[in-house]
Amino acid sequence: MTAATPSLRTLPAITLPEVPTRRTLRVCALFGLGVELGDADDGAARAADSAATLRAHLAPGRVVLVTGPSGSGKSRMVRSLVTAIARDPAAICVRPRPGHSAPVLSCASAVDAIKGDLTRSLGVLAAAGLADARVLTTPAQFLSDGQQQRLALAIAIDRAERLLALGRQVVLVADEFAMTLDAHTAQSVAHAASRWARRSGAALVVAAAREDLVEHLEPDVVAACALEGGVDFVTRADQP
C-alpha cells in the first residue's frame, strides 16, 4: 500500500502576493512549501501592531530589548516603531548612524566627536563602551568596525542628552546592537548603555539576535520575535 501524497494543506505555507511569479512558485515547490495568497502588506501590518504594543511599554528611563533569531522581523518592527515615534510631536527618536558613515569617520578622534566639557565627553564615550585612552585618541577612520559602531552610539547618546536637557522626551533606538562585537565587549556595552538610560531618563530600545545581552541590559520589557511571525512581550514582573 503506497503512502498518500500530501496535499498543499499539510505543507508548511508562506503568504505570497496575489500574483506570484512562476519562478517564485517553482522555488516554493522545490522547498516543499505550500502557497497562501494574501495581502502583501500583512507583514507590515503585523509589525505596526507589534510596534504599537512596544510603544505603549516605553517610558523615561525604561529599557526594552527586541530579540529573536535572524529573519524574525526585529528590524521591521523597529522601523515601524521609529515611524510611530516620528508622528508623536512630544517625543524624538535618536538612532546611531552606521559606524562607517561620514559623521563618524570625519572625527579627528573619538574624544573630539563629543563636544563640550571634557569630563562629560568622557562619560558619554564610556556609556558607549569607549574608555581606553588609546582608542579615545585614535582618528576615527583608523578605528575597528566595532569601535566605530560604539563611537556612533556615543554620538547618538550625546545628541539624546542635549535633547533631554531641553526638556524633550527621547527614545534612543539601536538596531543590530553590538552586532560586530565579541561577547565580553557586547555585554559590557549593554550594561553601560542600560545604566546610562536609567540615569539620564531616556527610553532605550535595543534590537539584537544575541541572547547573552539580557542579563547585562536588565531590560524592563523583552519583545521576543518568532520566525513564524508572532511576538511575545515579557515585562520584568513576568520574568523568572
What pLDDT, in 10s, does the model give residues 123-140? 999 999 999 999 999 988
The predicted pLDDT at position 239 comes to 61
The predicted pLDDT at position 9 comes to 46
Indicate yes or no: pTM above 0.85.
no
Instruction: With beta carbons less than 8 A apart as the criterion, state whether 225 and 73 touch.
Output: yes
Query: How is residue 9 annotated by DSSP?
Result: G
Instruction: With beta carbons less than 8 A apart as the criterion, state whether 90 and 59 touch.
Output: no
Neighbouring residues of 48: CB distance < 8 A, sequence distance ≥ 6: 80, 84
The predicted pLDDT at position 230 comes to 82
Confidence grade of residue 1 (pLDDT, cut at 50, 70, 90): very low
**19-55 burial by CB neighbour count: b if 16+ within 10 A, else e?**
eeeeeeeeebeeeebebeeeeeeeeeebbbebbeebb
C-alpha 224/C-alpha 187 separation (Å) is 19
pLDDT digit string (tens) for 46-77? 778 888 888 999 999 999 999 988 888 888 88
User: Architecture of 42-238 per CATH?
Assistant: 3-Layer(aba) Sandwich (3.40)
**Does residue 119 or residue 69 have the better pLDDT?**
119
Closest CA to 191 of 169, 219, 224, 222: 219
Neighbours of 211 (CB within 10 A): 12
Neighbouring residues of 120: CB distance < 8 A, sequence distance ≥ 6: 114
Cα 183 off chain centre by = 17
- At residue 171, φ and ψ (nearest 5 deg) are -120, 115
Intervals of CATH 3.40.50.300 along the chain? 42-238
What are the grid coordinates assigned to 44, written together? 507590515
What are the grid coordinates assigned to 86, written together? 516620528
What are the grid coordinates assigned to 55, written together? 510603544
